[in-house]
Amino acid sequence: MLRAMSLFLALTACSPEPALATVAAPPLEAGQAAAVFAGGCFWCMEKPFEILPGVLSVTSGYTGGEIEGPSYAQVSSHATKHREAIRVVYDPGRIGYERLLEVYWHNIDPTQADGQFCDRGHQYTSAVYVRTPEERAAATASKEAVQAALGKTVVTEILDASTFWVAEGYHQDFYKTNPARYHSYRTGCGRDARLTELWGSQAGH
Protein backbone atom coordinates (compact mmCIF):
# COMPACT_ATOMS: atom_id res chain seq x y z
CA MET A 1 0.00 0.00 0.00
CA LEU A 2 2.75 2.47 0.92
CA ARG A 3 4.68 1.65 -2.25
CA ALA A 4 1.54 2.17 -4.35
CA MET A 5 0.80 5.50 -2.69
CA SER A 6 4.40 6.69 -3.12
CA LEU A 7 4.35 5.68 -6.76
CA PHE A 8 1.05 7.52 -7.32
CA LEU A 9 2.50 10.69 -5.84
CA ALA A 10 5.62 10.35 -7.95
CA LEU A 11 3.63 9.78 -11.13
CA THR A 12 1.35 12.74 -10.55
CA ALA A 13 4.42 14.97 -10.38
CA CYS A 14 5.61 13.76 -13.78
CA SER A 15 4.61 14.70 -17.28
CA PRO A 16 1.17 13.42 -18.35
CA GLU A 17 2.66 12.29 -21.64
CA PRO A 18 2.80 8.48 -22.08
CA ALA A 19 6.12 6.98 -21.01
CA LEU A 20 8.38 5.64 -23.71
CA ALA A 21 9.42 2.00 -23.63
CA THR A 22 12.45 1.38 -21.46
CA VAL A 23 15.83 0.98 -23.12
CA ALA A 24 18.69 -1.44 -22.56
CA ALA A 25 21.58 -0.28 -20.39
CA PRO A 26 24.46 1.23 -22.39
CA PRO A 27 27.67 -0.73 -22.95
CA LEU A 28 30.48 -0.39 -20.45
CA GLU A 29 33.48 1.79 -21.08
CA ALA A 30 37.04 0.49 -20.98
CA GLY A 31 38.12 -0.46 -17.46
CA GLN A 32 34.59 -0.73 -16.12
CA ALA A 33 32.65 -3.72 -14.80
CA ALA A 34 29.00 -4.14 -13.87
CA ALA A 35 27.12 -6.14 -11.25
CA VAL A 36 23.35 -6.69 -11.27
CA PHE A 37 21.40 -7.34 -8.08
CA ALA A 38 17.69 -7.75 -7.38
CA GLY A 39 16.81 -6.87 -3.81
CA GLY A 40 13.21 -5.80 -3.73
CA CYS A 41 12.34 -2.13 -4.19
CA PHE A 42 15.06 -0.65 -6.36
CA TRP A 43 14.55 2.75 -4.74
CA CYS A 44 16.08 1.29 -1.58
CA MET A 45 19.03 -0.43 -3.24
CA GLU A 46 20.70 2.53 -4.93
CA LYS A 47 22.17 4.53 -2.03
CA PRO A 48 24.13 1.74 -0.28
CA PHE A 49 26.12 1.21 -3.47
CA GLU A 50 26.37 4.81 -4.69
CA ILE A 51 28.28 5.83 -1.56
CA LEU A 52 30.99 3.17 -2.06
CA PRO A 53 34.40 4.36 -3.30
CA GLY A 54 35.01 2.81 -6.70
CA VAL A 55 31.33 2.65 -7.69
CA LEU A 56 30.77 4.83 -10.75
CA SER A 57 27.00 4.65 -11.14
CA VAL A 58 23.93 2.79 -9.93
CA THR A 59 20.87 2.46 -12.16
CA SER A 60 17.43 1.12 -11.34
CA GLY A 61 15.82 -1.17 -13.87
CA TYR A 62 14.27 -4.50 -14.76
CA THR A 63 15.88 -7.79 -15.70
CA GLY A 64 15.24 -11.50 -16.08
CA GLY A 65 11.92 -11.24 -17.90
CA GLU A 66 10.39 -12.29 -21.18
CA ILE A 67 9.67 -9.09 -23.13
CA GLU A 68 11.79 -6.21 -24.40
CA GLY A 69 11.49 -2.71 -23.01
CA PRO A 70 9.13 -3.47 -20.11
CA SER A 71 7.40 -0.63 -18.30
CA TYR A 72 6.89 -0.40 -14.55
CA ALA A 73 3.20 -1.08 -15.04
CA GLN A 74 3.92 -4.23 -17.05
CA VAL A 75 6.43 -5.53 -14.52
CA SER A 76 4.01 -4.80 -11.67
CA SER A 77 1.27 -6.73 -13.44
CA HIS A 78 3.28 -9.95 -12.93
CA ALA A 79 3.02 -10.63 -16.67
CA THR A 80 6.66 -10.22 -17.73
CA LYS A 81 8.62 -12.20 -15.09
CA HIS A 82 11.08 -9.33 -14.66
CA ARG A 83 12.49 -8.37 -11.29
CA GLU A 84 13.22 -4.87 -10.07
CA ALA A 85 17.01 -4.68 -9.98
CA ILE A 86 19.99 -2.35 -9.93
CA ARG A 87 23.01 -2.23 -12.20
CA VAL A 88 26.18 -1.22 -10.37
CA VAL A 89 28.94 0.03 -12.66
CA TYR A 90 32.27 0.04 -10.87
CA ASP A 91 36.03 0.27 -11.24
CA PRO A 92 37.40 -3.20 -10.38
CA GLY A 93 40.76 -1.59 -9.65
CA ARG A 94 39.20 0.27 -6.73
CA ILE A 95 36.51 -2.08 -5.43
CA GLY A 96 36.05 -5.82 -5.81
CA TYR A 97 32.99 -7.85 -6.72
CA GLU A 98 33.19 -9.60 -3.35
CA ARG A 99 32.73 -6.27 -1.55
CA LEU A 100 29.67 -5.52 -3.68
CA LEU A 101 28.23 -8.89 -2.73
CA GLU A 102 28.79 -8.14 0.95
CA VAL A 103 26.90 -4.85 0.67
CA TYR A 104 24.15 -6.59 -1.27
CA TRP A 105 23.50 -9.23 1.38
CA HIS A 106 23.45 -6.63 4.15
CA ASN A 107 20.67 -4.73 2.34
CA ILE A 108 18.22 -7.60 1.77
CA ASP A 109 16.44 -10.34 3.67
CA PRO A 110 17.84 -13.41 1.88
CA THR A 111 15.48 -15.71 3.79
CA GLN A 112 12.27 -14.20 2.38
CA ALA A 113 10.92 -16.13 -0.59
CA ASP A 114 7.79 -14.15 -1.50
CA GLY A 115 9.33 -10.72 -2.03
CA GLN A 116 11.24 -8.29 0.17
CA PHE A 117 9.87 -6.84 3.39
CA CYS A 118 6.33 -5.52 2.80
CA ASP A 119 6.59 -5.83 -1.00
CA ARG A 120 5.32 -9.17 -2.26
CA GLY A 121 5.45 -10.76 -5.69
CA HIS A 122 8.03 -12.15 -8.08
CA GLN A 123 9.25 -8.71 -9.17
CA TYR A 124 10.46 -8.07 -5.61
CA THR A 125 12.24 -11.37 -5.00
CA SER A 126 16.00 -11.38 -4.56
CA ALA A 127 18.58 -12.61 -7.06
CA VAL A 128 22.20 -12.14 -8.06
CA TYR A 129 22.72 -12.03 -11.84
CA VAL A 130 26.14 -13.22 -12.99
CA ARG A 131 27.95 -13.00 -16.33
CA THR A 132 31.11 -15.04 -15.79
CA PRO A 133 32.14 -18.28 -14.09
CA GLU A 134 34.20 -16.18 -11.70
CA GLU A 135 31.18 -14.13 -10.68
CA ARG A 136 29.10 -17.28 -10.21
CA ALA A 137 31.79 -18.83 -8.01
CA ALA A 138 32.09 -15.68 -5.90
CA ALA A 139 28.31 -15.32 -5.58
CA THR A 140 27.88 -18.97 -4.64
CA ALA A 141 30.62 -18.81 -2.02
CA SER A 142 29.16 -15.66 -0.50
CA LYS A 143 25.66 -17.16 -0.44
CA GLU A 144 26.97 -20.22 1.38
CA ALA A 145 28.79 -18.01 3.88
CA VAL A 146 25.64 -15.97 4.52
CA GLN A 147 23.58 -19.11 5.05
CA ALA A 148 26.11 -20.40 7.56
CA ALA A 149 26.26 -17.06 9.37
CA LEU A 150 22.49 -16.73 9.63
CA GLY A 151 21.82 -20.39 10.31
CA LYS A 152 18.81 -20.15 7.99
CA THR A 153 18.06 -21.18 4.41
CA VAL A 154 19.03 -18.49 1.91
CA VAL A 155 16.49 -18.44 -0.91
CA THR A 156 18.17 -15.77 -3.05
CA GLU A 157 18.80 -17.15 -6.54
CA ILE A 158 22.02 -16.92 -8.53
CA LEU A 159 21.07 -16.60 -12.19
CA ASP A 160 22.66 -15.93 -15.55
CA ALA A 161 22.51 -12.26 -16.47
CA SER A 162 20.28 -11.08 -19.29
CA THR A 163 19.37 -7.69 -20.71
CA PHE A 164 19.08 -4.96 -18.10
CA TRP A 165 16.34 -2.47 -18.97
CA VAL A 166 16.75 1.03 -17.51
CA ALA A 167 13.68 2.01 -15.48
CA GLU A 168 11.69 5.16 -16.08
CA GLY A 169 13.33 8.42 -15.07
CA TYR A 170 11.18 9.09 -12.02
CA HIS A 171 12.56 5.91 -10.42
CA GLN A 172 16.21 6.94 -10.72
CA ASP A 173 17.76 8.29 -7.49
CA PHE A 174 14.33 8.41 -5.89
CA TYR A 175 15.93 8.75 -2.47
CA LYS A 176 17.42 12.06 -3.63
CA THR A 177 14.54 13.45 -5.66
CA ASN A 178 11.76 12.49 -3.23
CA PRO A 179 13.47 12.06 0.17
CA ALA A 180 10.37 12.47 2.34
CA ARG A 181 8.37 9.93 0.34
CA TYR A 182 11.36 7.60 0.18
CA HIS A 183 11.97 7.58 3.92
CA SER A 184 8.26 7.23 4.68
CA TYR A 185 8.04 4.22 2.39
CA ARG A 186 11.25 2.63 3.67
CA THR A 187 10.22 2.99 7.31
CA GLY A 188 6.63 1.92 6.73
CA CYS A 189 7.76 -1.16 4.84
CA GLY A 190 9.82 -2.30 7.84
CA ARG A 191 12.99 -2.57 5.81
CA ASP A 192 15.46 -1.07 8.27
CA ALA A 193 13.98 -2.84 11.26
CA ARG A 194 14.28 -6.22 9.57
CA LEU A 195 17.80 -5.50 8.31
CA THR A 196 18.92 -4.65 11.83
CA GLU A 197 17.26 -7.80 13.13
CA LEU A 198 19.17 -9.89 10.61
CA TRP A 199 22.52 -8.12 10.39
CA GLY A 200 22.93 -6.00 13.52
CA SER A 201 25.58 -3.32 13.12
CA GLN A 202 26.38 -4.59 9.62
CA ALA A 203 22.91 -3.74 8.33
CA GLY A 204 23.04 -1.60 5.22
CA HIS A 205 26.82 -1.74 4.89
Exposure string of 14-33, with b = 16+ CB inside 10 Å and e = fewer, is eeeeeeeebeebeeeeeeeb
Question: What pLDDT is stored for residue 3 in this prediction?
Answer: 52
Please give the CATH topology (third level) of the domain spanning 2-7+24-202. Peptide Methionine Sulfoxide Reductase; Chain A (3.30.1060)
Alpha-carbon gap, residue 60 to 86, rounded angstroms:
5
Residues that are catalytic: 41
CA dist 165 → 44, 62, 189 (Å) = 18, 5, 25
Q: Which residues pair with 164 in a beta bridge?
A: 63
| pLDDT means over runs of 10, the chain (205 residues) | 42 37 93 98 97 98 95 93 98 98 98 98 98 98 98 98 96 96 95 97 95
Q: Which residues pair with 89 in a beta bridge?
A: 34, 57
The verdict on pTM exceeding 0.85 is: yes
Question: What pLDDT is stored for residue 86 in this prediction?
Answer: 98
Question: What pLDDT is stored for residue 21 in this prediction?
Answer: 74
